[in-house]
Structure 1
């Protein structure tokens, strides 16, 4: 193996546009503009880490300042300008890290330096990496120079956070979005590097490196560098060794784990996960791979082996396809949502390993809610014995499956499934309120008072407008202050008090004024009548600034009268 001390990411850094991989359109566009002498005032390169933003910036700088010209850019016999730019010590090409020089003073120094023309090259070029780190004041100080720089001055910006750059700056630049490197292209590239370094690694190990790097060339080369270090003893880096080095595990184990979950074998599921955990796999890596495999179970019919970005081999692809035929899409989507929630748990629990085991156990019980082989799911109400199944399986005339009224003026219906909950009464005598005792809205208010359901009564009196109340059906409208859990709470209490299911319908009709509105209206009428009385007028003659704000009725005096 080549013992060159330079890391691969630096050793094989592209030096010309021809060396760039995966950015053909960008390279061709920039190269043509330079050849046509239509060079913009500023370039802006954006994209994820490790795809060639700073490298492309240096290549542009060399293309503009190469002693041999753009047409014959240095490849083998490198000129002094290209050599200095590659090593970041050219006097006319200034590279600045905006992460460490973020202030307006740094930009002012830059602008001051730009007043002087280039010393040895054709252009003076400022390469600013991670430009989004500049402060707002620094960007503002840069605007005028950026829009109308001297003929000899060019700016090249690179960033991973394009949204953090002010639009006024972006509009003054020629923007290029560098894309992730395609898996096959990146695989061919690192395979060539492996051969040049005389490394001994299998294609499966290289495919794993491509997958982990997520389209980043620098990440792929760094991982390859790390892998080749282990080959001093002459052994081949196979997939198993690579998984151990990078903390990844065999996907066939995860596919087997899925199958055991679908079969409901709790002990085998835990044993399989513990084998994976003992290989040094972190819970978050496990969860991300779990989500990835869920995606393939859901969309396997729409993919081919080549479209899985080297995640799956032929055998694993066929296993997933076979298992997915027995699993419903609804179950897979439910698993996906549940797994996403578990990622949040991992940040708050101290023992993530135990949390993962409980996660898998919960998946097994979550799966048991539905009948996996068929798309017809079974209701879990068998465990609830006394639930009124008829109310869920039959619909009445004029209603849909859930008993929602078929009326044009009805805009919504909220029916809480909690109504169907089996309330275990010790004796029928414990049902203190029968259905026939709640026959009106006033009866409902009285029951709330007797049951000390103060919050429920408050909502009924203040935020509800009654449209109709008959035959265990309540149609209402409401204002924006209504509590979001009101319908659920009322439904549950009505079922608890009457042992019957009530239909609560929301209507777009205004309905009767609420109890609170009625009280306010009566009070206002009383105040107006007092203001028209002779007594009030006599008071105003003696106290012109007086204002009537409230009226209280003397109940004792009314009784005596």
Structure 2
């Protein structure tokens, strides 16, 4: 039986053009290679799973390529590229600072820097999770980082830039990686699904992209989970919300419909159903806040693109926003936000959420009363 390779490894980008959502980084690195303006120390910062180590490896592979392409991408066929792809290149040294963070580990690395590459132009040292180095290790690294041999290039990667001492920061060219946009992750998942011949629903892939919170690696792991569950047949929306334990947004539409019609009993029954399915009250109220926000955004054609959902879901938002006033949505959002802030300090958390829902259900009545009072005041005037 053939060994299974997770998508994060199987579809790991091999060149700059295949990197997802970091065009500002890849363009700068390609221009540096093109103009021969390569710094000797780089610091790649950003959240997990956005391509820091991948870009470091692609840069290391590209600058040692023996047959650089016209678009300044590695050829992938020369001896240097092949040895890199087979993890047998002597010009690339990777160190995990999370488990090799002592002075001795850095001294060993510094000793290796003294030896020039036997073949190729550069020796590249990739240090992952560099913020885990001890202060003594940082200090032992300073002089080498400031004045390395012309053939040595250091690429430091970290998720916590603020933990790195200023003397290291001042010696590096700093690149800040972005969280990857939901649309970019969703499109990438569609391409992989097509290559793997897996049927999919766009809403399911968009949900995975949203849940990943900007980390492509997390999205690919979730995608593998859903594909495995469905025996490689189809990635559906309902299977996705079930496996990832996500509350179906259909509940939020039902809650708002009941609130607008002042059907308090229906609202409380829906909330009870949500709790019985094992969802946390806090997650529900946070999701309700996001739903109110999306309805407010849908009020204006100029901002509707800010709702990152499928076209069918967007139609539902447009229909519901027509049935709700901006005043109601703002007031309900304010109540829900207050409930969110004070949820953890509440002694009776279920009652805390239910009280917020009761207040929201009485908003239409409060608005009618205020209009009557305003009308009476106007008559008297």
State the TM-score, normalized to the length of structure 1. 0.60
Question: Does the 8 Å contact 1:51/1:180 carry over to 2?
Answer: yes
1:364-384 CA distances to partner (integer Å, 9 max, x unpaired)?
344478666639759xxxxxx
Q: Measure, in 2, the Cα distance between the counterparts of 1:87 and 1:159.
A: 25
Unaligned runs of 5+ in 1: 379-561
Does 1:45 find its partner at 2:44?
yes
In the TM superposition, what are the counterparts of 1:508-523 in structure 2 within 5 Å?
A: none
- Determine the structure 2 residue equivalent to 1:125: 124
More helix by share: 2
Does 1:322 find its partner at 2:315?
no
Structure 1 pair 368–243 and aligned structure 2 pair: CA distance change class (3 A): closer
- Determine the structure 2 residue equivalent to 1:225: 224
1:436-471 CA distances to partner (integer Å, 9 max, x unpaired)?
xxxxxxxxxxxxxxxxxxxxxxxxxxxxxxxxxxxx
Partner of residue 354 from structure 2, selected from 361, 374, 384: 361
Cα distance, 1:338 vs structure 2: 1.4
Q: Measure, in 2, the Cα distance between the counterparts of 1:56 and 1:186.
A: 17
Q: Measure, in 1, the Cα distance between the counterparts of 2:368 and 2:62.
A: 62
1:227-277 CA distances to partner (integer Å, 9 max, x unpaired)?
11123274x332112111111132121122134345554432232123333
Q: Measure, in 2, the Cα distance between the counterparts of 1:138 and 1:108.
A: 8
Q: Measure, in 2, the Cα distance between the counterparts of 1:298 and 1:96.
A: 48
Structure 1 pair 23–180 and aligned structure 2 pair: CA distance change class (3 A): same
Q: Measure, in 2, the Cα distance between the counterparts of 1:55 and 1:233.
A: 27
- Determine the structure 1 residue equivalent to 2:28: 29
1:203-222 CA distances to partner (integer Å, 9 max, x unpaired)?
11111111112222212211
Unaligned runs of 5+ in 2: 372-381
4+ runs deviating over 6 angstroms: none
Cα distance, 1:323 vs structure 2: 4.2
SS in 1 for 2:4: coil
Question: Does the 8 Å contact 1:58/1:86 carry over to 2?
Answer: no
- Determine the structure 2 residue equivalent to 1:313: 313
- Determine the structure 1 residue equivalent to 2:271: 273
With 151-160 and 173-182 compared, the bigger mean Cα shift is at 173-182
- Determine the structure 2 residue equivalent to 1:167: 166
Question: Does the 8 Å contact 1:370/1:377 carry over to 2?
Answer: no
Q: Measure, in 2, the Cα distance between the counterparts of 1:37 and 1:97.
A: 28
1:255-308 CA distances to partner (integer Å, 9 max, x unpaired)?
221343455544322321233334443445434322321322444324654321
How much is the aligned-residue C-alpha RMSD, in angstroms? 2.8
- Determine the structure 1 residue equivalent to 2:185: 186
SS in 2 for 1:328: helix
Cα distance, 1:155 vs structure 2: 0.4
Cα distance, 1:183 vs structure 2: 2.4
Does 1:206 find its partner at 2:199?
no
1:116-151 CA distances to partner (integer Å, 9 max, x unpaired)?
222333211110111112122222222221111111
Structure 1 pair 196–326 and aligned structure 2 pair: CA distance change class (3 A): same
- Determine the structure 1 residue equivalent to 2:111: 112
Q: Measure, in 2, the Cα distance between the counterparts of 1:216 and 1:242.
A: 17
1:72-124 CA distances to partner (integer Å, 9 max, x unpaired)?
644453x3432343454432311111111222222222212212222333211
Q: Measure, in 1, the Cα distance between the counterparts of 2:14 and 2:22.
A: 14
Structure 1 pair 174–7 and aligned structure 2 pair: CA distance change class (3 A): same
Corresponding residue pairs, total: 368
Q: Measure, in 1, the Cα distance between the counterparts of 2:293 and 2:320.
A: 11
Q: Measure, in 2, the Cα distance between the counterparts of 1:89 and 1:284.
A: 50
State the TM-score, normalized to the length of structure 2. 0.86
1:362-420 CA distances to partner (integer Å, 9 max, x unpaired)?
11344478666639759xxxxxxxxxxxxxxxxxxxxxxxxxxxxxxxxxxxxxxxxxx
1:159-206 CA distances to partner (integer Å, 9 max, x unpaired)?
111122122211211111122222222222110100100111111111
Q: Measure, in 2, the Cα distance between the counterparts of 1:157 and 1:55.
A: 12
